[in-house]
Chains A and B, each alone.
Chain A
């Protein structure tokens, strides 16, 4: 048993932390909020140079073939920002969907460029008026000569405004699981993407108006495999997303402890008040619950153990934990926490966004119960 990071993981953590301090300090992250895309071109180029977009991609496609535990170390550091941009969307979820579901030709055509960060993937799954799940895919592609035509809307597609390639879920038969993915050029005629305004982080609307894709765009070359592909990809992707949320929790925890020492009211640091202490105790419990449930899921996956229940559990705990950690931090900070420039609000918004992303806690708890065969 050893619950500490390995030497090389410590090294990666150090590199990522100094990268973040240099390239994405708080003012940069706060400033990004008004941008339609979360991708910072200069930063993206440097991150690609470090191989960060290809970490999970096998060496034969030019990737780093890293373990999930290693990759998680990086995403925890990104989550401390929280640094937006399509790191997870493309380098983790998108890449894993291709690995799990694409034909060898499709992989060869896309994965090396994804690993280099030149092509950027974004998944567009849910249709308007639906909840998360295979049944939420209702868009039906129309047969056209040599391909399909797509007309409809996809909602809450993460990072679609940054993507070069969209992976669009469509319904190809009536059974709930009869979902397929189509690869779609994000700049093709009839495709438009728009960041949804409001209290959410770079989740987008994808509007499709007679957007054409060739037959070869059908992921895996056969219909009806989409949801199974996504399920397999999510199994490995979710703990990485959880690590990003753990990083977020860690950052708001450190912010709160520091504030409790320096903010003086009634002549004493506010952390002297047990009411304030209680908020931070609640916060650190959420942080550690997220950290250790995530860690165990990652470890199970990397060592080939059955991990399905642990993954769903970790996503439920981390999503709830990040949201609650931010709530607690706001109670500690009072008015100062609501000032955008302070940096807490970026986490709060991200925590709300990731709460539902790829399934909310309730959905994951139910999948966990199913996986445990209660």
Chain B
């Protein structure tokens, strides 16, 4: 067994190249927590520019095929890029782009050649930022029951309905969504996916007021939206994977969203929490010197480590092309439940200071206050913890002789 990527000379050379390039192109304070709305927007524009610069080098989606504007790099090189970006507390892409990441992966598997040529290059080169639209007021865990309609009218589809828990702040250029293409059709045989423009007549975005947004990994903007579609007309060309075939396409999207890709990055929450507990005194003693706090921190650390190892294991499965089963949803389930549990553990360890975002009396940038909210809210996006458990049970084959297969991701 080898738990670490062993770097070849070529990889180390590539690392130097990447590091030097990033030093030159990543704007200062790119990973900062914005202090105002203007600062937030300014940071977003900086990151989009960085995205385009990365995209021009094929480094925004390093493993995507060159034919469609991707980097065409092998995993050995992509790993280096991810590590170097992670070092700067950023990710690839460096902004919220779930529709691009998951939509492009789905198009790559299910789109026609023409569609790949049309939709993939703008995503892979950072020209567009894409939101994904799945949940509706009446369809959360039960994704197959989405009632937003996409009805064929000549060379177009007409979209009508409402999507919730969408995107981030600062808008999007494209939208990746699932809708019902046959309201009278059978369940699982009446859906389709669309890749469309985000600014069309009849389409309206309204921010939601939420306790938290459950974001992870530095791309959390703290904003989710409702999107209304009132007879929005889109070209038939934007339907991906065939009319009424959307449930199959969903398997690719959901597999990736449910953690199959794995992760080898650092655990930023843990690093910040430990630093905070070292530097914060209570009753005259650093929190880390309090035996009860140390015991709680040990349990927090262990859950963070197990989460990291599950991510590493999933990465390793993809890296070596091995068969996956329940590991994707397991990572997702474990991470969600660990995060939820940590809200209580951190509250107990740190005390009410964990609850305030006050710059004087709370944690730096209010990162603990954010965790108190997001640890709870993160249980739901991308499939609830309970949905993940159901997936695990099917993949394991609990109570059934024939286990379900993992979704197709490549």
A residues bordering B, Cβ < 8 Å? 1-5, 69, 257, 260-261, 268-274, 276-278, 280-281, 284-285, 288-289, 292-293, 295-296, 298-300, 313, 316-317, 362, 365-366, 368-369, 372, 374
Contact = CB atoms under 8 A, between A and B. Distances in A.
Given A272-B400, A313-B302, 12 more contacts: A2-B320, A4-B322, A69-B1, A274-B390, A277-B399, A281-B392, A284-B330, A293-B306, A366-B298, A374-B274, A374-B278, A374-B297
B295 A277 contact: no
Given A257-B396, A272-B399, A295-B3, A3 B298 contact: no
Interface string B304-328: 0110011011011101101000100
B398 A257 contact: yes
Contacts of B297: 369, 374
Contacts of B135: none
A285 B320 contact: no
Nearest to A286: B306
B334 interface: yes
Nearest to B278: A374
Q: Give 3 closest A-B pairs by Cβ, nearest first.
A: A271-B399, A277-B393, A365-B298
Contact of B320 (A3, A300, A313, A369): A3
Contacts of B278: 374
A288 B2 CA distance: 17
B252 interface: no
Contact of B3 (A3, A260, A278, A372): A3
24 contacts: A1-B2, A1-B3, A1-B4, A1-B320, A3-B3, A69-B1, A268-B399, A270-B399, A271-B393, A271-B398, A272-B400, A277-B392, A277-B398, A277-B399, A281-B392, A284-B326, A284-B392, A292-B309, A292-B312, A313-B301, A366-B295, A368-B301, A369-B301, A374-B297
Contacts of B397: 257, 261
Given A1-B316, A369-B298, A298 B1 contact: yes
A317 to B, nearest CB: 6
Query: Which of under 10, 10 to 19, 20 to 34, or 35 or more describes the interface residues of B?
Result: 35 or more
A15 B297 CA distance: 42
Contacts of A269: 399-400
Contacts of A271: 393, 398-400
Nearest to B4: A1
A3 B390 contact: no
Contacts of A278: 389
Contacts of B118: none
B6 interface: yes
Contact of B1 (A5, A288, A366): A5
A1 B322 CA distance: 13
Contacts of A276: 398-399
Contacts of A369: 294, 297-298, 301
Contacts of B2: 1-3, 299
Interface string B254-297: 00000000000000000000100110000000001000001101
Nearest to B6: A1
A374 B393 CA distance: 38
Contacts of A3: 1-3, 312-313, 316-317, 320
A374 B118 CA distance: 53
B37 interface: no
B295 A365 contact: yes
B333 interface: yes
Contact of B313 (A292, A313, A366, A374): A292
Contacts of A257: 396-398
Contact of A281 (B4, B6, B320, B393): B393
Contact of A280 (B299, B306, B396): B396
B23 interface: no
B401 interface: yes
Interface centre among A269, A316, A365 (most CB of B within 10 A): A365
Contacts of B400: 261, 269, 271-272
A313 B294 contact: no
B45 interface: no
B5 interface: yes
